Amino acid sequence: MATVTLDHLRKDFPDGTVAVEDFSLLIEDGEFLTLLGPSGCGKTTTLRMIAGLETPTGGAIRFGDRRVDDLAPGQRNIAMVFQSYALYPHMTVRQNLEYPLKKHGVPREERRRRADELALMLQIGPLLDRRPKQLSGGQQQRVALGRALIRDPEVFLLDEPLSNLDATLRAQLRAELIQLHQRIGKTMVYVTHDQFEAMTMSTRIAVLHQGRLQQVGTPDEVYRRPANRFVASFVGTPAMNFLTGEIAGEGDRIAIAGVTTPVSLPPERAAALRELSPARDVIVGLRPEDILVGTGEASATIKLVEPLGHEALVYLDIGGQSVISRASSEMSLRAKESTAIDFRAARLHLFDPASGRRLDC
Ligand SMILES: Nc1ncnc2c1ncn2[C@@H]1O[C@H](COP(=O)(O)OP(=O)(O)OP(=O)(O)O)[C@@H](O)[C@H]1O
Ligand SMILES: [Mg+2]
């Protein structure tokens, strides 16, 4: 069983930096779990603790029922691709790829076969006889990825393995990795700050911020029900809009500042919202696709239209509050003009202004 359990994991560095704090998570056997968060939030530190390259200063790590905190990296049956991939400079690409197998005594024929297979998948076939310094950064990264994938460990740990590739290759390898995971069904812990990668590849995403877990859920859950303002603003492009507002009426409507008519919530949401006291200030979260332009009772001023081909991003001023919406590129929208707007009430998010936490309704 290759579940990976993080139990109140913590890492203090000697200089006093708390890189990871109270991080608990059960990673299921065969799961593709992504650690997502901005630079410096503790992703690499967490992965290095799972790998055994960094010692936790608190909490525990288990693979299945077995506590691994005291095991050296070599005893953990993991394969890891580092953010700063280190290839052996004196070895050719083929030797680099085959090295992990050689170390484990795999016969030469089998090594060659596996290396050829991976070289084909990673499109480095013609480079097999070169040395790392004769490769571009992206090519080196593919070799590093291949070197990790050539083995058959219990757990794969991948730290931004696609970051040095150009957009086309990145999209291609993203698809390859998804298929590879489906084929081999191994537990993978994948680190990225790229929400697009996280959304497309993961079984579940764990969002980190300042060393703390913010939310863990499927890509859909994280997108549709973000646990707090941080998650809401980090996942989704353009980011979710935040407007100041107030719970109004019988607790079934939301008054958005600058909008004359309050937004009526669907009955099932209103029922839950009535539990929260009316006349209470809230932060209203609306994704760009949930602000409809050219229809509805509310109005806004168009500040800028950014055509993207298949759609346009429309920058709006709603009573002094700036928001971005998506619109069809067929609409003729012009800056400085005013437009009717509407809100998809069923998809409106509410957050507590003080704590930033999602209000459940
Ligand atoms: N050896 C160290 N000594 C002191 N602080 C460190 C050390 N390594 C990392 N840190 C700090 O710990 C925090 C987490 O670092 P970490 O490398 O885990 O971030 P990350 O999420 O991987 O970021 P990035 O996306 O930039 O790679 C940061 O504030 C970083 O400066
Ligand atoms: Mg990192």
pLDDT in tens, 286-339: 999 999 999 998 999 999 999 999 899 999 999 999 999 999 988 888 888 999
Residue of 18, 36, 45, 193 to test ligand 1 pocket, by largest number of atoms within 8 Å of CB: 45
pLDDT in tens, 273-283: 877 766 689 99
Q: Is the pLDDT of residue 21 over 90?
A: yes
Our answer on whether the CB atom of 55 is closer than 6 Å to any ligand 1 atom is no
Please enumerate, as own/partner, the contacts of 251-255 that have beta carbons within 8 Å and a separation of 24 or more: 251/276, 251/277, 251/278, 254/282, 254/284, 254/345, 254/348, 254/350
| pLDDT (tens digit per residue) in 116-130 | 999 998 889 999 999
The confidence score (pLDDT) of residue 90 equals 96
Look at residue 278 in the predicted model and tell me its pLDDT. Answer: 65
Q: Is the peptide bond before 238 cis (omega within 30 degrees of 0)?
A: yes
DSSP category for residue 117: H
Using CA positions, which residue lies closest to atom 25 of ligand 1?
A: 39
Segment 77-105 shows an average pLDDT of 90
Using the predicted structure, report yes or no on whether residue 267 has a pLDDT greater than 90: no
Q: Is the pLDDT at 168 greater than 90, yes or no? A: no
Question: Domains, the chain, ranges and CATH?
Answer: 4-234 (3.40.50.300), 241-351 (2.40.50.140)
Ligand 2 centre distance from Cα of residue 81 (Å): 12
pLDDT at 269: 82
Query: Nearest residue CA, atom 22 of ligand 1?
Result: 44
pLDDT value, residue 291: 96
Between strands 281-286 and 349-351, the pairing is antiparallel
User: Is the model's pLDDT at 49 over the cut of 90?
Assistant: yes
On whether the CB atoms of residues 151 and 99 are closer than 8 A, the answer is no
pLDDT at 277 (0 to 100): 66
State percent of the chain over pLDDT 90: 70
DSSP string of 301-326, one letter each residue: EEEEEEE-SSEEEEEEEETTEEEEEE
Tell me, in angstroms, the distance from the centre of ligand 2 to residue 83's CA: 6
Contact 41 CB / ligand 1 (< 6 Å): yes
Nearest ligand to the CA of 193 is 1
Helices 137-149 + 167-184 axis angle, to 10: 0
Q: Map tokens 């298929």 to a residue.
A: 179
Mean pLDDT score across all residues of the chain: 92
Residue type, 207: V
- Taking the CA of 37 as reference, the closest ligand is 1
Q: Which atom of ligand 1 is nearest to the CA of 20?
A: 14
